Amino acid sequence: MLTDHVRQECFSSGHLAKIIDNKDILASVKRIAAIKTDIVMGNTNNYDKLKMNNSIAVIQGDITQQKVDAIVNAANNSLLGGGGVDGAIHKAAGSELLKECRKLNGCATGEAKITKGYNLPAKWVIHTVGPIWYGGSQGEDESLASCYRSCLEIAQQQQYQIKAIAFSAISTGVYGFPVERAARIAAREIQRFLESNNSLEQVILVCFSKSSYDSYLSAVNQMSERQLD
């Protein structure tokens, strides 16, 4: 993803092209490294000529406060609320959210359903149900991957006009999924989606704790380095 943007937008006409022209290789390597870091941190709006269709950002924060089009809730099969991020989202959204969830008849693990956001800054909440971790031999990886695919499939639907979406760290709390493993799955599935869809302009991974943030940022970094190889 990065090499395509660098090749298309910077080498041809922008600031980077001038650096290359006067053969300042060290400056150009530093510039590309800066581009990669900004992509990972989602700070892509300060590029000359680098028009990013989409990028993955990792932040530490409270997903209920994110001013995006949709937030992703780590729910349970009943969709009737709970603790953790599910409890926080229902509390912030207000009672109307639970009323709408009651009409959805639950949600299978690995699948997702969308509701309005009500009192949340986000217009939509996409509820997905991650797998409970039983040690890795019960198809947990695939179920978690399916959560990301199901949410992104809903997010790209024209009717919702979703350009920016924020994910919580699905299954890594009460459900006990190992954080680094979950982060790699999240980064991989989101990247695969962004490579073949440009309906989203930004995907944000919102981590509540510093340790979770470090794991997800590392996973996104490692994935973008693989893109450069």
Catalytic residues: 86
Nearer to ligand APR, 130 or 194 (CB): 130
| Min dist. Cβ of residue 75 to ligand APR (A) | 6
| Min dist. Cβ of residue 53 to ligand APR (A) | 26
d(CA 194, CA 183): 16
- Per the structure block, which two tokens stand in for 5? 């943007």
| Min dist. Cβ of residue 157 to ligand APR (A) | 23
Distances 65 to 61, 190, 217, 218 between C-alpha atoms, Å: 8, 22, 20, 24
Nearer to ligand APR, 124 or 175 (CB): 175
Nearer to ligand APR, 3 or 83 (CB): 83
Cβ pair 109, 129 in contact under 8 A: yes
Which amino acid, one-letter code, is at 115? Answer: T
Q: Which residue has the tokens 């340790």?
A: 211
| Min dist. Cβ of residue 206 to ligand APR (A) | 5
User: Phi, psi at residue 207, to the nearest 5°?
Assistant: -105, 135
Nearer to ligand APR, 64 or 191 (CB): 64
DSSP string, 169-217: -TTSSTT---HHHHHHHHHHHHHHHHHH--S-SEEEEEESSHHHHHHHH
Residues interacting with ligand APR, by CB under 6 A?
62-64, 74-76, 82-88, 130, 168-175, 206, 208-209, 212
| Min dist. Cβ of residue 155 to ligand APR (A) | 18
DSSP 131: P
Distances 131 to 66, 106, 172, 219 between C-alpha atoms, Å: 25, 15, 10, 20
Cβ pair 175, 82 in contact under 8 A: no
Nearer to ligand APR, 37 or 211 (CB): 211
